Chains A and B, each alone.
Chain A
Amino acid sequence: MAGLTGRMSTVVKAKVSKLLDRAEDPAETLDYSYQKQVEQLQNVKKGIADVVTAKKRLQMQEATLKQSVVKLDTQARQAVSGGQEDLARTALERKNVAQTELQGLDTQVAELEEQQQKLTDSEQKLRAKIEAFRTKKEVIKAQYSAAEAQVKISEAATGVGEQMADVGLAMQRAVDKTENMKARADAVSELEAAGTFEDLTTLGSGEDDIDRQLKQLSSQPAVDEELAKMKGELAPAAGGAAAQIPASSAGPGQGGQEQPPPADAPPAEGGRA
């Protein structure tokens, strides 16, 4: 058979026979292989534990970001009530950035969760295979020393060798996957911690970051809309102060930017009166 199947079969057979040819004492080889499998399974388990740790770290960052969102929202409302529209706008822009990052983290955490489940499943399957191997190797060893039935043993050994090689391959791939996932989660985590995290919660700093400004630019309409809404909601309660900056006239004064009228914001006198 040509194709992938043919190639794989050739490769595996070559590997297994190399493994068996080298073995001077089959019993010793079997014991050693089993030992290696058990050790490798520990690596898989450790890999899964690392992924869980990375996931927890992201979840903690999620919690912090959620707090920031609430805090920035409160600050924006306070600023609107106090008639400080620029400050309110800055708070809302940061809230917007925080919410976007929160979505990204959500996706990452969900992905890690799914992968963790898959790896845990395959770890259990591998454990069962290794346990089966342990039992089987004792049977083969007993046959070997008792009868020296060479042919039969070499037949059995081929299957054992194949299974051994395959369990080894499965574990290697599992470990590689955990390392990959951990590295990705760590990268996200570090980016969050190093980047926007700190100044997200403090107003009035970190304005010169180009990325931030670009993000703010794209979030401008959403911020405008939210600001108008907020002003509408707070207008009746705040009385005179808020009435000076009604939603409809917010546009021209703000940095010379053309602002579309908020599509679904309630009128200033409406809201939650």
Chain B
Amino acid sequence: MIVRVSTEGQYELEDEVLERLHELDDACQAAVEAGDGERFHACYEQLLELIRGEGSELEDDDLRGSDLTLPPPDITLQEAQSEFSAHGLIPD
């Protein structure tokens, strides 16, 4: 499975990691909905560390499409709430 961390790069991960990723993602989502910036950043950093730790980074010229795309590491709570919401970024 290939996961892209936006603005950072792509990582190849074993499928087993997906479950843990899923849990962290839900926790991040909950923090966003609660408007808790501190919890969201801590949670998202944990999620990214999981990917960086478990995955192997793809080379720059390896241009395979990703199965999953994550927001940039420096995403703000506001961006998570608005721009990356269900309607925000989707082109019309």
| Residues in A lying within 8 Å of B, measured CB to CB | 1-15, 18, 122, 128-129, 131-133, 135-136, 155-156, 158-160, 162-163, 166, 169-170, 173
Contact = CB atoms under 8 A, between A and B. Distances in A.
Contact of B84 (A2, A4, A13, A122): A4
Interface in B10-39: 18, 21-22, 25-26, 28-29, 32
Nearest to A129: B60
Contacts of B85: 7
A107 B37 CA distance: 25
Contacts of A133: 63
Given A4-B28, A156-B63, A14 B91 contact: yes
Interface residues of B, number: 34
Contact of B4 (A131, A158, A162): A162
B61 A135 contact: yes
Given A4-B80, A7-B89, 20 more contacts: A1-B21, A1-B25, A3-B26, A5-B21, A5-B70, A8-B68, A8-B70, A8-B84, A9-B66, A11-B84, A11-B89, A15-B89, A129-B60, A136-B63, A156-B63, A162-B63, A162-B69, A166-B4, A169-B72, A173-B7
B72 A162 contact: no
A108 to B, nearest CB: 20
A169 B72 CA distance: 9
Nearest to B26: A3
Contact of B25 (A3, A136, A162): A3
Contacts of A2: 25-26, 29
B65 A4 contact: no
Q: Which of B4, B26, B28, B61 has the most CB of A within 10 A?
A: B61
B27 to A, nearest CB: 9
Interface string B57-92: 001110111111111101000001000111001110
A7 B4 contact: no
A163 B80 CA distance: 21
A263 B84 CA distance: 58
A18 B90 CA distance: 10
A131 B63 CA distance: 13
A19 to B, nearest CB: 9
Nearest to B5: A166
B69 A5 contact: yes
Contacts of A12: 4, 6, 66, 69
Nearest to A177: B74
A14 B91 CA distance: 7
A5 B68 contact: yes
A26 B50 CA distance: 36
A159 B65 contact: yes
A18 B64 CA distance: 18
Q: Which of A9, A10, A13, A155 has the most CB of B within 10 A?
A: A9
A1 B72 contact: no
Nearest to B29: A3
B50 to A, nearest CB: 12
Given A14-B91, A169-B7, A7 B74 contact: no
Contact of A14 (B7, B22, B90): B90
Q: Which of B21, B32, B59, B69 has the most CB of A within 10 A?
A: B69
Contacts of B65: 155, 158-159, 162
